[in-house]
Amino acid sequence: MRFSNSRVAMAALGVLLITACNRDKKPEGAGAGGGAGDKTIALLLPETKTARYESHDRPLFERKVKALCPECQVIYSNADQNAAKQQDQAEAALTNGARVLVLDPVDSASASAIVARAKQSKIPVISYDRLIVNADVDYYISFDNEKVGKLQGQALVDKLRKDGKTSGTLVMINGSPTDNNAKLFKAGAHSVIDGSGFTVGAEYDTPDWSPDKAQQQMEQSITRFGKADIIGVYAANDGTAGGAIAAMKAAGVTPLPPVTGQDAELAGIQRVVSGEQYMTVYKAIKPEAETAAELAVTLLRGQQPEAGKLNAKVPNGKKDVPSILLAPVVVTKDTVKSTVVADGFWTPAQICVGAYQQACQAAQLQ
């Protein structure tokens, strides 16, 4: 992956994309192969077991499109982690008049067929959050995903060293093997863990990012290594972390070893506050979703974003895709307040319900 030196100031980017829209004043839909009235954007998201898509990505995207283009329509579909279903949803969106596809693929490889189909109709495709490989995608908006894995791996190794651990087993629970991001998270984590002196005793990919499957994988590890020997768990996201923690609690593992996560989803943040999960990675979905919405409206209007505002070119096997990559942030108990709460991602009132009230007070969230 290649990155340019400068990180984009997202607010400035938003202004520039809108400025580009206003300045060019081409007829709507001009570059998208349609006539007047072509004001439909499709947002195709991959799954529902991970909370972010329905709680953040979708509403933020739809709201931004409405603000920029009140007469625009968004066709929204969620594929429930089924690549064939996503293919059908994309086909239906095109049939129903979508002039731009914003596609977060279930399967980063097979989604190239969706891109080829869209391109036949001269419909631009934005690869959203996950890179579609070997395909003629127009833009890619995501986070520095290898960095996500590095942050997770480093946080785990640092915590183990701080706790004075020198021996014992790590378990790695990676994401879905069809998700290009999962490959990057895994590579990033390995780049830190492999040279750390700690041993990975077992490692799994988790089909569909399923928390239930992660739980089974963790049960297998506990059976294999025994309760006391597992000193840390690399879990690629909060859903899989939740599965691993449930398995350890059911087996009576005390104290729980440090477990990583990602997404800062509400259940993950609550576990971080209560100490069940050591860390998560916060990815600010607002700028990601809103930038995708701005770009989609720009393309719908037959315009181009200003080239200098893209901050990376990411090779996908077919081309160097003009990209916007955002920076992920580590969250531990000590930084919940200064990260996700300060950013308005979750409020203390949302986090500190029921059994979490006491832990919230200790973490000075309330």
Judged by the rule CB under 6 A, the positions of this chain that interact with ligand GAL are 47, 50, 52, 129-130, 175, 179, 181, 209, 237, 262-263
**Nearest-approach distance from CB 23 to ligand GAL, in angstroms:** 33
Distance, in Å, from the CA atom of 325 to the CA atom of 6, rounded to the nearest integer, reads 11
Taking the complex as a whole, the smallest distance from the CB of residue 51 to ligand GAL amounts, in Å, to 9
Q: How far apart are CB 164 and ligand GAL at their closest, in Å?
A: 32
Q: Is 194 in contact with 223 (CB distance < 8 Å)?
A: no
Q: Specify the residue, 177 or 275, whose C-beta has the smaller distance to ligand GAL.
A: 177
> Which candidate, 94, 87, 88, places its Cα nearest to that of 109?
87
Cβ 182 to ligand GAL, closest distance in Å? 7
Q: State how far the Cα of 346 lies from the Cα of 300, in Å rounded to an integer.
A: 32
Q: Which of 44, 153, 147 is nearest to 89 (CA)?
A: 44
Residue among 310, 329, 264, 240 nearest 56 (CA) = 264
Q: How far apart are CA 315 and CA 317, in angstroms?
A: 6
Residue type, 304: Q
Q: Which is nearer to ligand GAL, 40 or 142 (CB)?
A: 142
Taking the complex as a whole, how short is the minimal distance between the CB of residue 140 and ligand GAL, in angstroms?
12
Amino acid at 354: G
Nearest-approach distance from CB 52 to ligand GAL, in angstroms? 5
Q: Please, which residue, 128 or 198, has the CB nearer to ligand GAL? A: 128
Quote the CA–CA distance of 254 and 309 in Å, as a whole number: 49
Q: Which is nearer to ligand GAL, 143 or 356 (CB)?
A: 143
- If the CB atoms of residues 144 and 263 are measured against ligand GAL, the closer one turns out to be 263
Residue type, 346: W
Q: How far is the CB of 149 from ligand GAL (least distance, A)?
A: 11
DSSP per residue, 239-290: HHHHHHHHHHHHTT-SSPPPB---S--HHHHHHHHHTSS-EEEE--HHHHHH
Nearest CB to ligand GAL, comparing residues 263 and 294: 263
Nearer to ligand GAL, 175 or 348 (CB): 175
Distance CA 123, CA 97 (A): 10
User: Alpha-carbon dihedral of residues 210, 211, 216, 221, nearest 10 degrees?
Assistant: 110
